Structure 1
Amino acid sequence: MNNLSRILPRRLKAVTPDQRGITGLETAIVLIAFVVVSSVFAFAALSTGLFSSDKAKETIQAGLAETRGSMELKGSVVLTSSVSGTAGTVSDIAFQVSNAAGGEAIDLTPGQTLIKYTDELQSKMFVTTAGFTASGLGSADSDSLLERGEVYELKLIDLESSFGSGTDTLTSKLGVSTTFNLEVIPPRGAVLFIERTTPVFLDDIMSLD
């Protein structure tokens, strides 16, 4: 009987499978799954961070390009009138610009740069050499690129002799006591905004500060 009691547990242990190997395998599978899921989340977080960094970099670069491509007004706005007096009308509007930040060149070629004219009666676009000219002054070269240290003159021309509903012309003459706005719109960079008011009496040539 004693021998039977010693032999029986050993026989039962022999026919009962050892669970330790299975438990270890399950643990390994769980750990592998955890590592894979963690890697996926880490990759997603890293990708999101890199994307955000790239967008921030693009925004900063765009802001710098906008600043470096800005113009500023140099001097006065000069009006030319072929008819003077209280009934006078403006024929040309001229003003000088320079590179505000001394940075990237700005293409002032008509068509690349646009000028928008607005007063209480009209809003017109000047987009070709029929409407305005861009001329380098002093040491500026003639490539129509406003570069560091250069000054260019922009001039709206033939304002009192050419009228129409299209671009490069006014639909009504610019006379006395009229407030007008000019927006110089470059291909890149900030828009230069100019506002002036014509006096009650127009001379042949007048300077508006």
Structure 2
Amino acid sequence: MKSTPIQKKRARNRGLTGLETAIILIAFVVVAAAFAFAVLNLGFTTTQKSSEVIRAGLSEATSAIELSGGVIARSEEVNGKRYVSNITIYIKTGPGKEPIDMSDKTLTVSYMDPHVHVARLINGTNLIVSEVRGDGDVLIEYGETWQITIKMDVIYGGLTNIKVGANDKFVVEIKPAVGAMLTVERILPPSIDPLMNLG
């Protein structure tokens, strides 16, 4: 059977319509693939940035330093009463923490009791920061121990009638350049001994 001119025209239109449809579908697939790539790439970048922010936030929030033993208080007798003359705190870094610069420029130590508040103690005058066990540099690294000694007689400047004594509470804040500060809060016992371990 011979096809008529109308049937030939319909056959041509059908083939052409199918080709056009295929081109349009391919174009949609290519555009969708490019869009999906862009969205996925943006998602990966955002995930990476957010994990970096979380990691940085955790390093800021967690304290890199911790107590290494007890808080030691030494006392002296003034006018028949015993008062604390210095407080020594032993510190170390936690496992897996970065080394901490213990130099005067980066470490801030503050002290407060019922009678006095010092926002920044100065190493060499009313504060002594020294290495107990380590490699001799200014960084406290894992396995090393440092001591921070607060000289109460210098803080009170020779005052004999007002000093930290029995039942007084004191707070020492040790703030490294990176990480959360270590807060040491103790209450002195009712009876002051020459040498006390405050835990």
TM-score by length of structure 1 reads 0.70
Cα shift at 1:82: 4.3
Cα shift at 1:154: 0.7
Cα-to-partner distance string for 1:36-90 (whole Å, 9 max, x where unaligned):
3312331233124312431354256447756997222122222234444775443
Segments of structure 1 that go 5 or more residues without pairing to the other structure are: 1-5, 164-171
C-alpha distance in 1 between matches for 2:114 and 2:141 = 34
Letter in 2 for 1:160: Y
* 1:206 equivalent among 180, 196, 199: 196
- The question of 1:132 aligning with 2:127 is answered yes
Is the contact made by 2:102 and 2:138 (CA closer than 8 Å) also made in structure 1? yes
Q: Percent identity?
A: 33
TM-score by length of structure 2 reads 0.72
Cα shift at 1:184: 1.6
The structure richer in strand per residue is 2
C-alpha distance in 2 between matches for 1:18 and 1:160 = 104
Moved more, 55-64 or 20-29: 55-64
Flag the structure with larger Rg: 1
The answer for the alignment partner of 2:43 in structure 1 is: 49
Counterparts of 1:186-197 in structure 2, within 5 Å, are 186-197=176-187
Cα-to-partner distance string for 1:166-206 (whole Å, 9 max, x where unaligned):
xxxxxx74333111222222222343221111233434443
Residue aligned with 1:46, SS: helix
Segments of structure 2 that go 5 or more residues without pairing to the other structure are: none
Cα-to-partner distance string for 1:15-37 (whole Å, 9 max, x where unaligned):
99943464245314421331233
The answer for the alignment partner of 1:168 in structure 2 is: none
Is the contact made by 2:111 and 2:121 (CA closer than 8 Å) also made in structure 1? no
Letter in 2 for 1:135: S
